[in-house]
Structure 1
Amino acid sequence: MDTDQKIARAAVYSETGGPEVLRVIARPVREPGPDEVRVRVHRAGVNPTDWKFRVAAGGGMPVDPPQVPGQDGAGVVDAVGEAAPAELLGRRVWLWEAAYQRPDGTAQEFAVVPARQVVELPEGVSFDLGAALGVPFVTAHRCLTVTEEGPSRLGPGALDGRTVLVAGGAGAVGNAAIQLARWAGATVITTVSGPEKGRLASAAGADHVVDYRRQDAVAEVRKVAPQGVDTIVEVSPAGNAALDVAVLARGGSVAIYANNGGDEFTVPVRALLGPNARWQFVLLYTMPVRAKEAAIADITAALRAGAIRTGPEAGLPLIHFPLEQVAQAHAAVENGAVGKVLIDLAE
């Protein structure tokens, strides 16, 4: 081995299982391939899919080559491949979908990823915010753009006159959906499970917050939207199916991006035929390419407009862990931490 080769830290797992399978190792930093870039990662985001991929179908299954987790991150490009855009060198960027079907995620000091999966961070946007964008905001964008006769792109005015219901407005995707929907001009209602989460959803920009444990959620939503809501961003279809049916407007859609609370649910067919309701399932990794490209472009525009924020003042507290505590970071997300979990890899 070249004695001058750079060595850096990376979190890896070589078998499926709980957080305990994660370990931090030192390993050589590889050069980017022709269409790749290498990023000095400052922050890595942790998402539910990170621990779900790690657990997979159960524990004890070998993972070869070892997997570096982490779809999202932010940092500075320090090397580019010969076919990658040379102007990216030295640029501050955010990364998305880094580890899907690849062993080289963001929970490491240097990540090598395809050039198409890094996006320049606008001036003034922090690495914390950059690392919080990928999974939550691309997912939220898709959920907001699948409604019949609704827009396929988001921007100021795109959702004027429309009402969006966000289930779980204190979660990362819920927070992203609130911010994007407000930027696009929608009236935003959100449901939460308690006062503290209600305060977070309000900080994100929700116009109306409904505490479903203390209020009649259907009645409260109908007060705001007598004709029903146009788009529902749904995190818990098993628990919320009856509510969704009761408040959906004609031509409305329910975009389901998670299965919190159960993997199965039922809906009444006849009640949904008349309004031509749509139930759309959403998974970032298998979304149409054009939908991902649209999301990246619109998120970038929103960042430049100052319409996307993070931190407690934006309804999304930041929870930082050093790389050596990557197992604790994963456990925090798996246990439902309220806020955005980040792994710090540089000052």
Structure 2
Amino acid sequence: MKAVVHDQHGPAESVLRLVDREISEPAAGEVRVRVVVSGVNPTDWKARTGMYGGEPAAESVPNQDGAGVVDAVGPEVEGLAVGDRVWLSLAAYERPGSGTAQEYTVVPVNRVFPLPEGADFDLGASIGIPAITAYRALTVAEDGPDRLAPGALEGKVVLVAGGAGAVGHAAIQLARWAGATVIATVSSEAKAAYPTAAGAQYVVNYRDADAAEQIRSHAPDGVDIVVEVAAGANNALDLAVLRTRGTIAIYANNGDQPFEVDVRANMGLNSRYQFVLLYSMGWPLITAAAEDINAAIAAGALPVGEAAGLPLHHFSLDQTADAHQAVESGTTGKVLITISEA
């Protein structure tokens, strides 16, 4: 089979190479998936460049997310059968050879989830890390729900920073599906159309001098949950619009501006900061998130594509380096690699 691999850290065009590999057999508790589409996330290029430290294993295969068809099941596997359409996430976590940038991958069954009827493989490869991250951010508030469903966030106001990104897109859609009022922030007027298409009722340019006043005009009692992508840069704005006992869920610090805690302001608000990283969430939480995400998909609440506010950018397997470069350069939308025919 064809696979993209690397055995050292570095630029995509220098270290990623297309090779032939043997197709592995699944062991107990594992399934083999014929990958149709692989999704590329920022965590994938960060791992490839060595941002997380350590040395890559021999023939590490990039990309954590994907979608495809179950090709074989190992012993002790329940709930999945050959021929099932599935999406998968964290494929390469602690299994560097199991990334989705290859024609077949073998992963533990708890990383594979049924793809609801009517959802295509592009959608399946687009959810994974972005949607689970968004889900976690929306379910960590002190007085909020720990599961999402229609009505779970009724009466709540959610502020999604970076509403044009993949996590922001999923957060807007999941929050709306759960009944919240959603305000999104963007960096330019050109990007405002994306969160609007995703379902945000209000969009604010966070660069505006009166951004806090604009947000407060839509949430006079303050925001219940902030889904935050740039903690350092946005902290002052977040505190200016957060309600008492509100939650700021941080999943990234884009821009790398130092994040400093204003103790007095946070004490006055009785606020909560929750840091979100899938790798340490634990499988029970990931499983619960996937179940509810699938319910949202089945309800038609998580579409992707230009009309839904998340443009899709397609590459072929031999263009994996270009796909990584697209994500690394900040391309708006979702970067996908088509591996095989559906």
State TM-score, norm by structure 1: 0.95
Give, in angstroms, the shift of residue 243 of structure 1. Answer: 0.2
1:18–1:45 CA distance, 2 compared to 1 (3 A) = same
Give, in angstroms, the shift of residue 147 of structure 1. Answer: 0.8
1:258 and 2:237 correspond: no
Partner of 1:203: 197
Partner of 2:324: 330
1:217–1:53 CA distance, 2 compared to 1 (3 A) = same
Partner of 1:244: 238
Identity rate, percent: 57
Q: Which runs of 5+ in 1 are unaligned?
A: 1-7
Contact 1:95 1:134 in 2 (8 A): yes
Matched residue type, 1:102: R
Contact 2:46 2:52 in 1 (8 A): no
Give distance in 2, aligned partners of 1:265 and 1:77.
43
Partner of 1:41: 35
Give distance in 1, aligned partners of 2:221 and 2:166.
28
Give, in angstroms, the shift of residue 45 of structure 1. Answer: 0.2
Give, in angstroms, the shift of residue 67 of structure 1. Answer: 0.6
Cα deviation, 1:81-116, whole Å, max 9, x if unaligned, reads: 022127421100001110111121101000111111
Give distance in 1, aligned partners of 2:269 and 2:314.
45
1:107 and 2:107 correspond: no
Give distance in 2, aligned partners of 1:277 and 1:146.
12
Give, in angstroms, the shift of residue 62 of structure 1. Answer: 4.9
Q: Select which of 263, 268, 274 maps to 2:268.
A: 274
Cα deviation, 1:156-194, whole Å, max 9, x if unaligned, reads: 000000000000000000000000000000000000011
Structure 2 counterparts to residues 92-131 of structure 1, below 5 A: 92-103=85-96, 104-131=98-125
Contact 1:242 1:267 in 2 (8 A): no
Superposition RMSD on alpha carbons, in Å? 1.4
Partner of 2:161: 167
Give, in angstroms, the shift of residue 57 of structure 1. Answer: 4.3
1:72 and 2:65 correspond: yes
> SS in structure 2 opposite 1:218?
helix
Partner of 1:223: 217
Contact 1:97 1:135 in 2 (8 A): yes
Give, in angstroms, the shift of residue 137 of structure 1. Answer: 0.3
Give distance in 2, aligned partners of 1:215 and 1:124.
44
Cα deviation, 1:297-339, whole Å, max 9, x if unaligned, reads: 1101111111110001110000000000100100110110100
Partner of 1:17: 10
Q: Select which of 158, 162, 186 maps to 2:180.
A: 186
Cα deviation, 1:205-258, whole Å, max 9, x if unaligned, reads: 001000123462101000011111000000001110100110111110100101
Contact 1:32 1:112 in 2 (8 A): yes
Q: Which runs of 5+ in 2 are unaligned?
A: none
Give distance in 1, aligned partners of 2:199 and 2:247.
22
1:76–1:272 CA distance, 2 compared to 1 (3 A) = same
Runs of at least 4 residues off by over 3 Å: none
